[in-house]
Amino acid sequence: MFGKHTYEEIMSQGEAWQQSLLHAEREIDMIKEIITKPWPEVVFTGCGSTYYLSLTAASRWQEITGIYARGVPGSEAWLYPKSIYIDSAPLLIAISRSGTTTETLRAIQVYKEHYKLDPIVISCYPESDMMVQSRYPLLAAGGQERSVAQTRSFSSMLLMTHYLTWVAAKQDNEQTNQLIKLPETFEKLISKYEGQMKDLAQNHSLQKYVFLGSGINYGIACEAMLKMKEMSLTVSEPFHFMEYRHGPKSMVAEDTLIIGLIHDATRHEEMKVLSEMKDYGATIMAVTESADGITADYIVEMDSGIDVMYRGPLYLPTLQLLAYYRAIEKGLDPDNPTNLTTVVELND
Ligand code: F1P
């Protein structure tokens, strides 16, 4: 059956998040020692999905801790370290579902050789090279997958970066309570919106998908774009909300679906972008905490009560389902994206 694994992996994210959080609580003492040092900067790195994860994790880290943070592709940290690092050593946090992606492993090697320090590594496979060779491994338990496109692995590793941020910021239990609420909200969200995502995916007049997200939501918009491409071979692009006006909107027409990942603090400006695109003929979907005051053709209301800083994983499941159902609709197998393998391993 097409997409069997992808579907199971999307639908089991609530459980995966629970397992990941339980595991992190047991393992965190080892990592606390390094994470709470006074770092001048934090660099997150990964490839593909895990690079996008690095973007959102870095924005969140900087907003919450006040420490300068950046997300960079593994290949850049490997091949162009001078454009990434300066003299003072940053904390490196490397993320890889497989723990075997060559570019990420080489980025770690360059960092270790240059600074004589060990990074924190996050992966779903405890026996992988990256995890075994690290003094500070953090397992996203429950995130392992049989499909190529990352779904529950991504959201579980994202949750682990939320957890690390919480530890680094020495926040009180109120914030972990927020993380604990994620799995139950996931279940409600998915049962309420699965049917709508299936219907939307079957709309053949929509040929171009655009994902808008700003601040902490930009990396998530990129990941949603990647799911749509990998699983369903649909033309899809991510942009920061306000950037979309600066040229890309020329492409908007009646075949365009614009999906906005609404941030609580800037929803007013973001909605203005969406309604302008509606005037150009686009179909609009908003993924938002509250539907109050939101006008769109489709609204996914999270209604989670969770602070926007800790809500990241909830933006994704409906969009993963949209990609999944679109692939099925086009007769493609979401478990086996065209030209892709689970890991990119390079020869010398
Ligand atoms: C990263 C990655 C995936 C992508 C593809 C190839 O892998 O780029 O994001 O979907 O399957 O690998 P990893 O380093 O997170 O294992």
108 lines ligand 1 (CB under 6 A): no
Gap from CA of 126 to ligand 1 centroid (Å):
17
What number does the ligand 1 atom closest to the CA of 153 have? Answer: 15
* pLDDT confidence of residue 175: 66
- Compute the average pLDDT of residues 238-258: 98
Is the minimum distance from the CB of 344 to ligand 1 under 6 angstroms? yes
Q: What's the pLDDT band for 1 if we cut at 50, 70, 90?
A: confident
pLDDT at 174 over 70: no
Nearest CA to ligand 1 atom 10: 149
- For position 101, what pLDDT does the model report? 97
Nearest Cα residue to atom 2 of ligand 1? 48
- What's the CA-to-centroid distance between 96 and ligand 1, angstroms? 7
CA distances from 202 to 7, 102, 116, 317 (A): 17, 38, 53, 18
pLDDT band at 11 (very low <50, low <70, confident <90, very high): very high
Q: What average pLDDT does this structure show over 147-162?
A: 97
Amino acid 266: pLDDT: 97
Q: Determine the residue of 45, 54, 108, 150 to mutate for testing ligand 1's pocket, defined as the one with the most ligand atoms within 8 A of the Cβ atom.
A: 150
Convert the pLDDT of each residue in 29-55 to its tens digit.
Answer: 888 889 989 999 999 999 999 999 999
Q: What's the pLDDT score for residue 87?
A: 86
Tell me the pLDDT tens digit for each residue of 302-346.
Answer: 999 999 999 999 999 999 999 999 999 999 999 999 999 999 999
Distance 265 CA to ligand 1 centre (A): 32
Q: What architecture does CATH give domain 4-171?
A: 3-Layer(aba) Sandwich (3.40)
CB-neighbour burial class of residue 251 (10 A; exposed 0-12, middle 13-18, buried 19+)? middle
Residue bearing the bigger pLDDT, 163 or 171: 163
CA of 48 to the centre of ligand 1 (A): 5
Confidence of residue 163 (pLDDT cuts 50, 70, 90): very high
| Each residue's pLDDT tens digit, 103-126 | 999 999 999 999 999 999 999 999
Task: Write down the CATH number for the domain with range 183-329.
Answer: 3.40.50.10490
For residue 284, give the DSSP letter.
E
* Confidence at residue 30, expressed as pLDDT on a 0 to 100 scale: 84
Q: Where are the alpha helices (DSSP H) in 116-238?
A: 129-132, 152-168, 173-201, 218-232
How many A from CA of 101 to the centre of ligand 1? 7
How far out from the chain centre does Cα 6 lie?
16
d(CA 231, CA 322): 10
Question: Which is higher by pLDDT, 59 or 31?
Answer: 59
Q: Which residues, 6 or more positions from 326, have their beta carbon under 8 angstroms from its beta carbon?
A: 201, 228, 231, 232, 234
Residues 318 and 186: their CA atoms lie apart, in Å, by 10
Distance between CA atoms of residues 215 and 226, nearest Å: 18
Of ligand 1's listed atoms, the one at least distance from the Cα of 154 is 15
Matching CATH topology for 4-171 and 183-329?
yes
Mean pLDDT of the chain: 95
- Centre of ligand 1 to C-alpha 49, Å, is 6
Q: What is the mean pLDDT of residues 57-73?
A: 97
State if pTM tops 0.95. yes
Contact 77, 111 (CB under 8 A): yes
Q: Which pLDDT score is estimated for 171?
A: 72
Torsion, Cα of 127, 131, 132, 135 (10° steps): -150
What phi-psi label fits residue 339: left (phi over 0), alpha (psi between -120 and 50 degrees) or beta? left
pLDDT tens, position by position, 187-227: 999 999 999 999 999 999 999 999 999 999 999 999 999 99
Residue count (the chain): 348
Ligand 1 close to Cβ of residue 98 (< 6 A): yes
Q: How deeply is 205 buried, as exposed, middle or buried, from its count of CB atoms within 10 A (0-12, 13-18, 19+)? A: exposed
- Measure 99 CA to ligand 1 centroid, in angstroms: 10
**Atom number in ligand 1 closest to CA 46:** 14
User: Does 177 score more than 90 pLDDT?
Assistant: no
Domain ranges of the chain: 4-171, 183-329
